[in-house]
Structure 1
Amino acid sequence: MTSVLFDVPGPKARTRHRAMAVVGTLGLLALIAFVLYRFYDSGQFTAKKWEWLQYEAIQIGLLEGYLATLQAFAVAAVGALLFGAVFATARLSDHKFFSAPATAIVEFFRAVPLLIMMFLLYFGFPTIGVKMTPFVVVVISLILYNGSVLAEVFRAGILSLPRGQSEAAYALGMRKTQVMVLVLLPQALRAMLPTIISQLVVLLKDTALGFIITYEELLYYAKNLGGSLEFSRPFVPVTIVVAVMYIATCLLLTWLATYLEKRNRRSSKVAHIDTKKAEETVLVGDSTI
């Protein structure tokens, strides 16, 4: 049996793949165990290295840094989604006046590394009289980069929809802008939801780059705390705590994506069943007449 891109594995191949998966899992667990042992052997799990967690001021500082991270993420996520929707629509325009500049902007900001963009806005723009706070620089940089990526995601989602969707809308007398905004874009959002959430997870992690331009987010506070001589420079314990906070937030976003995807599939099934029942009712009525 074959698929479009590869041969479907047989019994021996499946057994071999399971064995390789088991070996890989055991290898990964062994590596994690070795790293944990080295941390333990070097005294990273001693009470003195973790006593900083007992101080209320440090707990509040971590919380404030985490909230600053979430604030930048929330504003940048909304801006990136709007940016992506607008520029995806512009790229699909039949008028070169809109599509050509939109294409140039999207390709440019996708090509520029995020950190260079932050450096340019924070250190370069003041030389021409434009000075922005670290928060504004982080948000604008995240919007421009991730919004450009999302613009391509939206464009791919719109192009993947059946042509009958737009043709039916045009047959009803709708203009192209209305077709794009009211018919195609909402469907593309639902279809590309997992990819969109994945890019938002990337956006969340990219907020950590803000510490380089002194934005006081979670990693910025953790860097200063990890270098504290008062607590014997607890770099490893602080890194573990911050990593757990980032991982928990990313897992929450992943869970949200899974939940929305399941709910969307459930709504589609209900709508399909309702449509089928309506058709059957019409057929029964016609046969009775």
Structure 2
Amino acid sequence: MTSRTPALFDELGPRGQKRLRIATIVAVVALIGIVAGAIAQLAHVQQLTARLWEPLIEWSNIRYLLQGLLTTLEVGLTGAAISLVFGTLIGLGRLSTHKWLSLPSTGVIELFRAIPLILLVYFFLIGLPMFGWNLPPFWVLTIPIVLHAGSVFAEIVRAGVNSLDRGQFDAAAAIGLRRGQTMKLIVLPQVFRSLRPALVTQVIRTLKESSLGYVVGYPELLRDGQVIGEYNANFLQTYAFTAVIYIVINFGLSRFAELLDRPKKPRRSSAAAAEPEPEPAAEPARTLV
């Protein structure tokens, strides 16, 4: 058997491994010290008292936060679905051989990638009403997320298409498929299969970006947490509890992405499993002459 060797760096020798262990121990001890110091400081300023944490176990506050989580999921899932379609279209538009399509698509991608998301939100919140367009808070928040996240996903799609072997395009042209048919039947199925983790990452991205709902007054999770913190005068505790909810949701989606990316094991059919293996043929008896 051949041993695997790292591709990017050589294996550490005994001295290097010893230094790595020492550095790891020092880093862990420093981290524990920082956490312990933070807890001690919070206890000193009386931020760990039960009075500040008890409101977070009351059903009325939990129900209020769950309503905010529901609206956050609505914005996140809606924004993710639309941004995937939008990003795919303008990503393919940028790959087009027609200048009238590739140049505007490139301009849209670069424009919305360059503008910070919060500026887009302010434009839809303040700028559009100047032209007489008054959108509901849901769309004032969702549309900027779609434009920003979709432009990022467009580059992911473009990179996925360019990473495919060019021989597939030549083979498709050899059997008479047009470019559009090649994209639809051959290229895009492979790209989306390889981009499944990126699709889940897009959902996580939109969920986190929905926290800008406080700008437009949309009652999402962080906004509702702010309201509870103001009402109970426990901002730190409420924001910590809200952060835990975000971590749980995003960790679950990340695990789901890992499961999608995990290669599937081939299954044996029941008939094949029940069929006994053939016995080796017996050698013919030798006779002595």
Structure 1 partner of 2:185: 182
C-alpha distance in 2 between matches for 1:95 and 1:14? 56
Equivalences for residues 26-37 of structure 1 within 5 A = 26-37=29-40
Structure 2 partner of 1:171: 174
C-alpha distance in 2 between matches for 1:197 and 1:69? 16
Q: Over the residues paired in the alignment, what is the CA RMSD in angstroms?
A: 2.3
1:169 positional shift:
2.2
C-alpha distance in 2 between matches for 1:152 and 1:178? 21
Q: 2:133 aligns with which of 130, 133, 148?
A: 130
Would you say the 8 A contact 2:125–2:216 is kept in 1?
A: yes
Structure 2 partner of 1:90: 93
Would you say the 8 A contact 1:80–1:147 is kept in 2?
A: yes
Equivalences for residues 168-247 of structure 1 within 5 A = 168-228=171-231, 231=232, 233-247=233-247
**Residue type at the aligned position of 1:17:** L
C-alpha distance in 2 between matches for 1:251 and 1:212? 26
SS at match of 1:65: helix
Q: State the structure with more CA Rg.
A: 2
**Residue type at the aligned position of 2:208:** K
C-alpha distance in 2 between matches for 1:98 and 1:139? 26
1:185 positional shift:
1.7
More helix by share: 1
C-alpha distance in 2 between matches for 1:202 and 1:36? 30
C-alpha distance in 1 between matches for 2:188 and 2:82? 16
Would you say the 8 A contact 1:226–1:234 is kept in 2?
A: yes
Equivalences for residues 28-177 of structure 1 within 5 A = 28-177=31-180
1:136 positional shift:
0.4
**Residue type at the aligned position of 2:173:** Y
- Moved >6 Å (runs of 4+): 1-4
**Residue type at the aligned position of 1:60:** R
What runs of 5+ residues in structure 2 fail to find an aligned partner?
269-289
Would you say the 8 A contact 1:153–1:196 is kept in 2?
A: no
Q: 2:264 aligns with which of 256, 263, 266?
A: 266
Would you say the 8 A contact 1:107–1:148 is kept in 2?
A: yes
C-alpha distance in 2 between matches for 1:94 and 1:181? 16
Aligned length: 265
Would you say the 8 A contact 1:77–1:203 is kept in 2?
A: yes
C-alpha distance in 1 between matches for 2:251 and 2:117? 23
94 and 208 in structure 1: CA distance in 2 versus 1, 3 angstrom threshold: same
Normalising by structure 2, report the TM-score: 0.85
SS at match of 2:103: helix
1:54 positional shift:
3.9
1:8 aligns with 2:5: no
1:199 positional shift:
3.8
SS at match of 2:71: helix
C-alpha distance in 2 between matches for 1:26 and 1:193? 38
C-alpha distance in 2 between matches for 1:38 and 1:199? 37
Q: 1:24 aligns with which of 24, 27, 35?
A: 27
Identity of aligned residues (%): 33
- Any idea what the Cα deviations from partners look like across 1:15-45, whole Å, max 9, x if unmatched? 4334323322332232222222222332222
212 and 2 in structure 1: CA distance in 2 versus 1, 3 angstrom threshold: same
Would you say the 8 A contact 2:92–2:158 is kept in 1?
A: yes
184 and 22 in structure 1: CA distance in 2 versus 1, 3 angstrom threshold: farther
C-alpha distance in 2 between matches for 1:14 and 1:95? 56
SS at match of 2:264: helix
